[in-house]
Every structure is written in C-alpha cells, then in structure tokens.
Structure 1
Amino acid sequence: MPESVQAAPLADGSFDGVAATAAGPPLAFTSRTAHDANTGQAWDLTTGAALGPPVPGFPADRAAWTFGVPAGSPAVAWTHRDRVHVQDVRTGRELVLDGQPDLLALAVHGGRGAVVAVFGPATDAEVVVWDALTGHRLAEFALWLGHRTAIDRSALHAAPASGPLVALAGGADVVVLDVERGEDVVAVPSARAVLAPSASGLVLVRPVENALHVRGLDGDRLTVLTAPGPCDRVAATGAAGRLLVAAGLEGDPCTVLAWDAATAAPSHRVKVPAPVNDLALTPDGTLLTATDEGLYTTRLCP
C-alpha cells in the first residue's frame, strides 16, 4: 500500500501552472491568478520563499510559458502581446523578442542556453531557436506536424539533460526535434506524455488506462507503473539515478500518486485540499501541486 501523506501549503492563492528545474538547486516557477490579473513567480524551494518580484501580465495558459535550466542559470520564457520574454530568474535580466509562437521550450544549442519557439499551422510550421542570453537567432527550420497544428500540442523538455532535444506531444505521436541539427529525429507513438531524464537516458512517461508507461525515445517500453484508475496531470524527473513520477487520479482530483519507477506500485498517495491544476517534481524529490486554493509541496524522498 502506498504511504498516505498530506501536502503542506507553500502559498495561498489560485495557481494555474507550476514547473520545476530538472537540475541544480530546487527551484520552481508558477502562474497565479489574483484580482483578474495573472502573475508569474519564481520560488526557492530550499527556503520556501518567493525568488524575486512577481512578473505582471504572465500568461495563464501553460503552453504559453516554459521554465528550466538551459545552461548555467535558470530561465523562464513566456509570450505576451506579440512578444517573447526571456528572464534570468537569478539576476532578473530580461530579454524581449518579437513574435507570438504557439509553443515554447528551452534547450541547449552549441553549449548555449536557447529558447525554442514553434510558429504556425501544421502545413508550414516554423521552428526558431534564439540564444537565451543575447537574443541572436541560432537556427530556424520548417517542420511538418501532420494534420494537427502546433496549438494542439505541448512542448516538452528537461533542460539541461535533454540538451538540443525538444519533444512535441499531441496527436498520434510525440515528435522529437534536434534543434542543433534542425530536424525532427524520431516520432514515438503516444498522445499525452512528459519528458524526463533517467538512468536509461531520456524517457517519455505517458498515461494509459490504469497505468503509466515509461518508454525510451526509441519507442521501447522500459517499465509499467500500475495505478488504481486512469491518471492525468503527469510529472516526472530524474533523482539520484532514479526516475520519480507523479500523476493525478482522474476519478479523485484531490489525490496525487507518486512512484519510484524502480517499483511498479505507487510509493505515496498525496492528498491536497482542492483539485489539481498542475504538477511538478524536482530532483531532490519535492512534489509541487498547483490548485485553485494554493500551492503545495510534499517531500517524497528522505
């Protein structure tokens, strides 16, 4: 039986989305609605304190922003009024670029931190890669996404472990791009999924009926994690050579299950006081849960 634990409140308010760094000190970024205005906020999870001032005019749509450590320092990128904003979370330095992409991700291009933007409909989608520090255009290339547009998809990365690779989930396949080579390199059969580093390399974790499947980027199924019912809101990360996974239960929106993927059965059952809007995991084993009543944390590893 999984260990039952209560999530601890980190901040009050209505939180739409949350993302966490995949490497380095445990940091998170959230989107939050307050008084009909959305803000973004970075968090230092070691101290439990907000990191820097809130970002005004931040998008509520999770596809319109991304957070991670593409190289050196954590960065958040978001779209607002036909502009792409890129901010170094540590220093507050902000870069502004022209454009309103449908999807954003972070990557490493030639050793540099990079922002990856996907524009346009499926028939002539365009991928643009910018240097996250200088704004210089590093690459651009055309992309065919079948009969579904970029709007129907989500962008996945696990920078810096994912290097130049960015995955686009949605439709029948997860399409993996190499932004240094300027091309898609593989398509893995899957609809919804998250991308995470593991001891076996980068993996995709996808919910299926009463289970989660962990697959390599070659499409091979590595393991199956069992669940008492259908799952959604999946998060995954690498932690000390292990793969940690968390997912909300569709039939119980206030419950999150967590797994050490070395074992098929869930290790923890986490209760939160409101339905889950979004999840994130940090490499030190901290689970973050965004809800309409607050942001919550749970330590899954000692």
Structure 2
Amino acid sequence: MPESVQAAPLADGSFDGVAATAEGHPLVFTSRTAYGANTGQAWDLATGAMLGPPIPDFPAGRAEWTFGLPTGSPTVAWTHRDRVHVQDVRTGRELALDGQPDLLALAVHGGRGAVVAIFGPANDAEVVVWDAVTGDRLAEFALWLGHGTAIDRTALHATPVSGPLIALTGGADAVVLDVERGEEVTARTAHGLILVRPVENALHVRGLDGDRLTVLTAPAPCDRVTTLSGATDDLLVAAGLEGDPCTILAWDAVPSESEMPLGPSHCVKVPAPVNDLALAPDGTLLTATDEGLYATRLRG
C-alpha cells in the first residue's frame, strides 16, 4: 500500500500553474491570481523565499509560459500581447521578441540557452529558436504534426539534461524534436531520456526510441503527469487521479531494473483540487490550487 501523506501549505493564494528546475538547487516558478490580476513569481524552495518581484500581466495558461535552467541560470519565458518575454530570474534581465506562439519551451542550442516557440494552429507548424540572452534567431524550421496541432499539445523539456531535445505530447503520440538539427530525433540522439504516458489504469515509461521500460500501475486513469529523472537512472513520477482532483499518486522507480509493474509509493492528499503539479530536484512535489501552493517531500 502506498504511504498516505498530507500536502503542507507553502503559500496562500490562488495558483494556476507551477514549474521547477530539473536539477541543482531547487527553484520554482508559479503563476498566481491576486486581486483580479495574474502575476508570475519565482521561489527558492530551500528557504521558501520569493526571488525578485512578481511579474505583472503574467499568463495563467501553462502553454503560454515555461521555466527551467537551460545553461546555468534560471529562465522564464512567457507570451503577452503578441510578444515573447524572456527573463533571467537571478538578474532580472529581460528581453522581448515579436510573436504569439501556441507553445513555449526551453532548450540548449550550441551550448547557448534557447527559447523554443511553436506556431501551430494548422498541421504544418513553424518552430523558431531564439537565444535566451541576446534574442538572436538560432534556427527556424517547419514541423508536420499529422492530424493534431500545437494547440492540442503540451511542450516538455528538462533543461539542461535534455539539451536540444523537447517533446510535444498530446493524444496518442509524442513528437520529440532536436532543435539544433531541426528534425525529429532518432533512437541514437534520444539515448537516456524517457517519456511517461497515461494509458488506462497505468502509466507507461518509455525511452524516446519507443521501447517500454516499465509500467506504473494505478487504481484509476491518471492525468497531469510530472517526472524527475536522476543521474543514476532513478525516476520519480507524480500524477493526478481522474475523478479525484485532490489526490496525487507518486512512484519511485528505476526503469532499467523494473521488469514487473510497479504500484505507487505515495498517495498525497491536497486540500483543494489540483490545477498543476511539478517535481523539484530535491524530491519535493509542488501542487498549485485555488486555495494555495502546497509542498510534499517525497524523498530525503
């Protein structure tokens, strides 16, 4: 049976989204509604302190903003009024670029931190890659999305470990791009990275070459999946239960050694329905709700 734990409050307020860095010192970014306006805010999870002032007019939709650690400095990018804004969270340095993409992600391009914008209301999407510091255009290429569009998808990255790779997930498939090559990746370029996909009452853990590594079982269908993959192939996964918006399940696994289906290690109870969730590098689960931001330590 999974260990049942209660999520602890980290901050009061109404939070629409949350994201965390994939490695190093645990940093978190949130979108929050206060006094009728939405703001973006960075946090140092180790101290619980806010980093810098809130960003006004910040979008609530998670497709409209992204956060990560592309090349050593935490970066947030968001869209507002036909512009893409990119800010270094530590220094406050910001640049603005023309465009209103449907999806945003972060990547590493030629050793430089990069913002990836996907414009895709039609099946023929356009991908544009900008330098996150200078705003220089690093790449531009077309992308065929088959029967889906960028609007139907979610952009995933885990910078810097994911390097130039980003994944566009949604529906029954996932498109994994190498933004340096301007193409979908092969098994060789995808070595060591994984995708976790909800399937009926389970989550399938696969390599980017399509090989299934393990199966994580659940008592009901899951949604809102987030993962944390360590340098030693250990994997932490958290997902919400459909039909039970106040419950999050978590699995602690080693995909390369898990031949049998694996049940959840934790069952996290949150006082309000979860809008978004993220896993920080120290093994803390962050949950954004209309009643507050909550944290649950799943490791350590």
Which bin holds the TM-score, normalised by the shorter protein? over 0.9
Query: How far apart in 1 are the matches of 2:73 and 2:40?
Result: 18
TM, length-normalised to structure 1: 0.93
Aligned length: 291
Could you tell me which residue of structure 2 aligns to residue 230 of structure 1?
Answer: 221
Q: Which has the higher strand share?
A: 1
Determine if the alignment matches structure 1 residue 293 to structure 2 residue 291: yes
Query: How far apart in 2 are the matches of 1:301 and 1:90?
Result: 27
Could you report, residue by residue, the CA deviation over 1:63-96 in whole angstroms, capped at 9, with x for unpaired residues? Answer: 0000001112010000000000000011111111
Cα gap change, 1:135/1:145 in structure 2, threshold over 3 Å: closer, same or farther?
A: same
Could you tell me which residue of structure 2 aligns to residue 256 of structure 1?
Answer: 248
Query: How far apart in 1 are the matches of 2:171 and 2:244?
Result: 26
Query: How far apart in 2 are the matches of 1:211 and 1:125?
Result: 31
Deviates more, 1:108-117 or 1:232-241: 232-241
Could you tell me which residue of structure 1 aligns to residue 273 of structure 2?
Answer: 275
Matches within 5 A, 1:101-180: 101-180=101-180
Cα gap change, 1:186/1:64 in structure 2, threshold over 3 Å: closer, same or farther?
A: farther
| Residue 240 (structure 1) shift | 5.4
Which of residues 207, 212, 217 in structure 2 aligns to 1:216? 207
Cα gap change, 1:298/1:240 in structure 2, threshold over 3 Å: closer, same or farther?
A: farther
| Corresponding letter in the other structure for 1:252 | D
SS in 2 for 1:70: coil
Query: How far apart in 1 are the matches of 2:282 and 2:245?
Result: 25
TM, length-normalised to structure 2: 0.94
8 Å CA contact 1:122–1:146 kept in 2: the answer is no
Determine if the alignment matches structure 1 residue 244 to structure 2 residue 229: no
Query: How far apart in 1 are the matches of 2:246 and 2:202?
Result: 18
Query: How far apart in 1 are the matches of 2:282 and 2:8?
Result: 16
| Corresponding letter in the other structure for 1:235 | T
Residue identity (%):
83
Runs of at least 5 residues in structure 2 that lack an aligned partner in the other structure: none
Determine if the alignment matches structure 1 residue 59 to structure 2 residue 59: yes
8 Å CA contact 1:287–1:299 kept in 2: the answer is yes
Cα gap change, 1:273/1:47 in structure 2, threshold over 3 Å: closer, same or farther?
A: same
| Corresponding letter in the other structure for 1:209 | E
| Corresponding letter in the other structure for 2:133 | L
Could you tell me which residue of structure 2 aligns to residue 184 of structure 1?
Answer: 184
| Residue 301 (structure 1) shift | 0.7
| Corresponding letter in the other structure for 1:295 | L
Query: How far apart in 2 are the matches of 1:13 and 1:125?
Result: 37
Could you tell me which residue of structure 2 aligns to residue 194 of structure 1?
Answer: none
Query: How far apart in 2 are the matches of 1:172 and 1:235?
Result: 18
SS in 2 for 1:228: coil
Could you report, residue by residue, the CA deviation over 1:80-128 in whole angstroms, capped at 9, with x for unpaired residues? Answer: 0000000001111111111111110000000000000011333432110
Could you tell me which residue of structure 2 aligns to residue 190 of structure 1?
Answer: none
Could you tell me which residue of structure 1 aligns to residue 36 of structure 2?
Answer: 36
| Corresponding letter in the other structure for 2:90 | R
| Corresponding letter in the other structure for 2:276 | D
Query: How far apart in 1 are the matches of 2:275 and 2:237?
Result: 17
Query: How far apart in 1 are the matches of 2:88 and 2:245?
Result: 34
8 Å CA contact 2:102–2:121 kept in 1: the answer is no
Runs of at least 5 residues in structure 1 that lack an aligned partner in the other structure: 188-196
Query: How far apart in 1 are the matches of 2:144 and 2:3?
Result: 45
Query: How far apart in 1 are the matches of 2:223 and 2:121?
Result: 27
